[in-house]
């Protein structure tokens, strides 16, 4: 088997680290028992490991093909998509009213991570469909919901997100696609979008494009963007498919990775459809509020791409662990009768533990965010809804930026563990590295996430979310020290090490938050030169906090591991990983904090260096 879904890990995170039992008490999930959660985890593990994962290598080699505006997908992905739709996986977290199963985002975080791990290129199609469903549920008219949601939830149709144009990437104020109002209330769209993921394919009956475009006379910049639904096939009043709309795939990109995902150049209004010239679209909500609506989809997609990073990291780690046990090379440093499996070498262990520690920490942060989202939507207490919304908003750029940056390190280490076999394509280690490379770029580059974390998520609320996190993390340090006082000798040293390193990392994080708040007025460039280090520092510290909490739980549960649904071995490994994270990964916080504090000095130098002249 190429990939095994980490079911035991999810059970531990759900029950011992974030509060799945609390989530199941929310009004929206009443009647959902933890047995059902476990059953979904098991079934999803089977589906992703046995059905999806075997297509990963195939779809890396057999690429989608564009011919006369139509894209044919490899046969293997047709079969997988059919089983995905039949299994009801698209509807897992969408409302029962529209044919979904209405399960928590927390559970969907696990099932989607498994899908991403099994085949990240394939998974992009359901991921974007999720985003379209979410956006339409919140902003679509009743008629739009009636027309589009059920077929999307059942995966008869799929969705896309159309933002990027050749002159408009990170900066959406430059979008020029035009939308011309028609007398019947619809619009005709004209323009070219690039890099549209699953913008054209033959896996589903219809494709629903959400498109950012500009009406005549709209204000310049992002305030003049409107959002439109443009279906590949128009939909008749009875729900059947009508005329072929005027949106066409001009070509597919040749990419470094995610070869199974067709990345399309789409032409709107090329005049080739059955509807005359101009792609027919309907406005979502009000004109000029398109970016606001699109942000719903972008936020969903940003979180999801972060989880993609975790999935790829998990898959790369599993592959490296297997290889390291099999490959025999060199004697042990302390001496051995002959060459040993490379997993015995201290440096290989360092690499494997780094991979595991970063993956588990990033996963725990994502699950923390998912719970905050579930609570922000459904908790009966309005104040709790608000604080959880702020926490979720703060965590989304961290989940996206940190998890995907980690996936680059993890998948690169995966290649290194394989030695020369990692660099050749046969083993598949290189594919994870190639596939991961896009994750820090699409759905907003790491810099764009970092700008969001600094600007909207830290400065705008005066650092209040960061301060609350600092308080909670400080309580964990105290709990670690208290627990160490009563723990057995072998765990005491680990707990004290985690307490010391976490405490130091919190101090560095706190000083970075203060730096960001203090220097915004007098030298904003000095703050933003450290925005990515600030994002990474936040990720490392939050990850360290979650791993520290995991260590505490391991000690508390050692007498009865079945309470968390895990084995004693699992707890032992988790504790070791938490200690490793504290000792080896958390000290990175200091270097990042130092870099952030150099902001003023650095900008002075950089601003005067002629090599930086624009």
Ligand X SMILES: Cc1cc2nc3c(=O)[nH]c(=O)nc-3n(C[C@H](O)[C@H](O)[C@H](O)COP(=O)(O)OP(=O)(O)OC[C@H]3O[C@@H](n4cnc5c(N)ncnc54)[C@H](O)[C@@H]3O)c2cc1C
Which of 416, 445, 468, 511 touches ligand X by CB under 6 A?
445
Residues 194/164, Cβ–Cβ less than 8 Å: yes
Binding mask 255-274 for ligand X (x = CB under 6 A): x-------x-----------
- Which residues does 370 contact at the CB level (< 8 Å), separation at least 6? 18, 104, 105, 106, 108, 109, 303
Nearer to ligand X, 104 or 311 (CB): 311
Exactly one of 9, 200, 405, 443 is catalytic; name it.
443
Rounded distance between C-alpha atoms, residue 306 and residue 518, angstroms? 29
Which of 59, 114, 144, 197 touches ligand X by CB under 6 A?
197
Nearer to ligand X, 173 or 236 (CB): 173
Rounded distance between C-alpha atoms, residue 526 and residue 607, angstroms? 10
Residue 408 engages ligand X in binding (rule: CB under 6 A): no
Residue 525 engages ligand X in binding (rule: CB under 6 A): no
Please give the full DSSP string across 7-29, using - where no structure is assigned: HHHHHHIIIIIS-HHHHHTSGGG
Which residue is nearest to ligand X, using beta carbons? Answer: 169
Q: How many CA atoms lie within 13 A of 402 on its CB side?
A: 28
Residue 434 engages ligand X in binding (rule: CB under 6 A): no
Residue 534 engages ligand X in binding (rule: CB under 6 A): no
Residue 163 engages ligand X in binding (rule: CB under 6 A): yes
**CA torsion sign, 347 to 575 to 571 to 49?**
negative
Which of 47, 89, 195, 248 touches ligand X by CB under 6 A?
195
Which of 103, 132, 161, 582 touches ligand X by CB under 6 A?
161
**HEC string for 345-399:** CHHHHHHHHHHHHHHHHHHHHHHHHHHHHHHHHHCCCHHHHHHHHHHHHHHHHHH
Least distance in Å: CB of 223 to ligand X? Answer: 18
Site for ligand X in 451-490 (CB under 6 A): 451
Residue 299 engages ligand X in binding (rule: CB under 6 A): no
Among the residue ranges 189-197, 279-287, 355-363, 467-475, the one whose residues contact ligand X (CB under 6 A)? 189-197
Residue 293 engages ligand X in binding (rule: CB under 6 A): no
Among the residue ranges 54-62, 160-168, 292-300, 462-470, the one whose residues contact ligand X (CB under 6 A)? 160-168
Rounded distance between C-alpha atoms, residue 418 and residue 480, angstroms? 37
Which of 352, 365, 436, 438 touches ligand X by CB under 6 A?
438
Residues 232/206, Cβ–Cβ less than 8 Å: yes
Both tokens of 424, joined, read: 């050749």
Which of 340, 447, 496, 524 touches ligand X by CB under 6 A?
447
Both tokens of 52, joined, read: 């999806």
Rounded distance between C-alpha atoms, residue 140 and residue 163, angstroms? 18
Both tokens of 257, joined, read: 């990775």
Among the residue ranges 39-47, 76-84, 277-285, 446-454, the one whose residues contact ligand X (CB under 6 A)? 446-454
Nearer to ligand X, 449 or 510 (CB): 449
Least distance in Å: CB of 170 to ligand X? Answer: 3
Least distance in Å: CB of 193 to ligand X? Answer: 6
Rounded distance between C-alpha atoms, residue 386 and residue 294, angstroms? 21
Which has the closest alpha carbon to 189: 270, 254, 256? Answer: 270
Rounded distance between C-alpha atoms, residue 100 and residue 392, angstroms? 23
CB atoms within 10 A of CB 354: 19
Nearer to ligand X, 195 or 433 (CB): 195
Active site residue 443: yes
Residue 169 engages ligand X in binding (rule: CB under 6 A): yes
Residues 50/118, Cβ–Cβ less than 8 Å: no
Residue 431 engages ligand X in binding (rule: CB under 6 A): no
Nearer to ligand X, 67 or 254 (CB): 254
- State the residues that interact with ligand X by CB under 6 A: 161-164, 169-170, 195-197, 255, 263, 438, 441-445, 447-448, 451
Which residues are designated catalytic? 443
């Amino acid at each position: 088997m190429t990939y095994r879904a980490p079911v035991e890990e999810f059970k531990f995170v759900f029950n011992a680290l974030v509060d799945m039992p609390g989530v199941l008490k929310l009004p929206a999930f009443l009647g959902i028992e933890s047995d059902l959660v476990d059953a979904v985890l098991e079934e999803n593990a089977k589906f992703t490991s046995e059905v999806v994962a075997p297509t990963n290598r195939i779809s890396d080699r057999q690429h989608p093909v564009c011919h006369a505006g139509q894209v044919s997908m490899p046969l293997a992905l047709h079969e997988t998509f059919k089983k995905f739709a039949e299994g009801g996986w698209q509807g897992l977290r969408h409302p029962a009213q529209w044919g979904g199963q209405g399960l928590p985002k927390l559970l969907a975080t696990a099932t989607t991570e498994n899908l991403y791990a099994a085949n990240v290129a394939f998974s992009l199609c359901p991921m974007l469909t999720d985003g379209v469903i979410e956006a339409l549920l919140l902003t679509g008219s009743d008629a739009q919901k009636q027309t589009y949601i059920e077929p999307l939830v059942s995966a008869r149709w799929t969705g896309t997100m159309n933002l990027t144009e050749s002159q408009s990437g990170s900066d959406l104020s430059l979008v020029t696609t035009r939308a011309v109002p028609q007398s019947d209330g619809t619009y005709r769209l004209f323009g070219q979008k690039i890099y549209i993921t699953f913008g054209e394919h033959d896996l589903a009956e219809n494709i629903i494009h959400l498109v950012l475009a500009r009406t005549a006379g709209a204000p310049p910049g992002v305030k003049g963007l409107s959002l439109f639904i443009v279906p590949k096939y128009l939909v008749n009043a009875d729900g059947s498919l009508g005329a072929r709309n005027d949106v066409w795939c001009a070509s597919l990109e040749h990419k470094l990775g995610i070869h199974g995902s067709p990345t399309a150049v789409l032409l709107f209004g090329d005049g080739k459809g059955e509807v005359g010239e101009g792609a027919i679209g309907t406005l979502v909500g009000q004109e000029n509020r398109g970016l606001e609506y699109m942000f719903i989809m972008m936020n969903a997609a940003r979180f999801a791409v972060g989880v993609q990073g975790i999935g790829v990291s998990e898959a790369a780690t599993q592959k490296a662990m297997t290889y390291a046990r099999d490959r025999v090379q060199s004697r042990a440093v302390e001496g051995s009768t002959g060459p040993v499996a490379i997993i015995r070498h201290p440096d290989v262990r360092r690499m494997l533990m780094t991979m595991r520690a970063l993956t588990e920490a990033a996963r725990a942060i994502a699950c923390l965010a998912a719970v905050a989202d579930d609570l922000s939507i459904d908790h009966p207490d309005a104040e709790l809804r608000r604080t959880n919304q702020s926490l979720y908003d703060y965590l989304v750029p961290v989940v996206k930026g940190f998890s995907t940056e980690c996936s680059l390190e993890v998948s690169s280490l995966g290649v290194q563990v394989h030695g020369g076999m990692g660099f050749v394509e046969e083993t598949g280690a290189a594919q994870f590295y190639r596939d991961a490379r896009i994750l820090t770029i699409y759905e907003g580059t790491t810099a764009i996430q970092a700008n969001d974390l600094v600007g909207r998520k830290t400065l705008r609320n005066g650092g209040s979310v960061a301060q609350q996190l600092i308080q909670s993390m400080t309580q964990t340090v105290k709990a670690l020290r208290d627990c160490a006082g009563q723990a057995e000798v072998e765990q005491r040293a680990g707990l004290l090490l985690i307490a010391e390193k976490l405490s130091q990392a919190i101090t560095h994080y706190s000083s970075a938050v203060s730096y960001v708040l203090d220097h915004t007025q007098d030298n904003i460039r000095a703050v933003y030169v450290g925005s990515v280090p600030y994002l990474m520092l936040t990720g490392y510290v939050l990850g360290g906090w979650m791993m520290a909490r995991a260590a505490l739980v391991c000690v508390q549960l050692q007498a009865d591991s079945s309470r968390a649904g895990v084995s004693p071995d699992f707890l032992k490994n988790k504790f070791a990983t938490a200690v490793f994270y504290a000792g080896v990964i958390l000290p990175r916080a200091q270097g990042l904090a130092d870099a952030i504090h150099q902001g003023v000095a650095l900008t002075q130098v950089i601003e005067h260096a002629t090599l930086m002249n624009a």
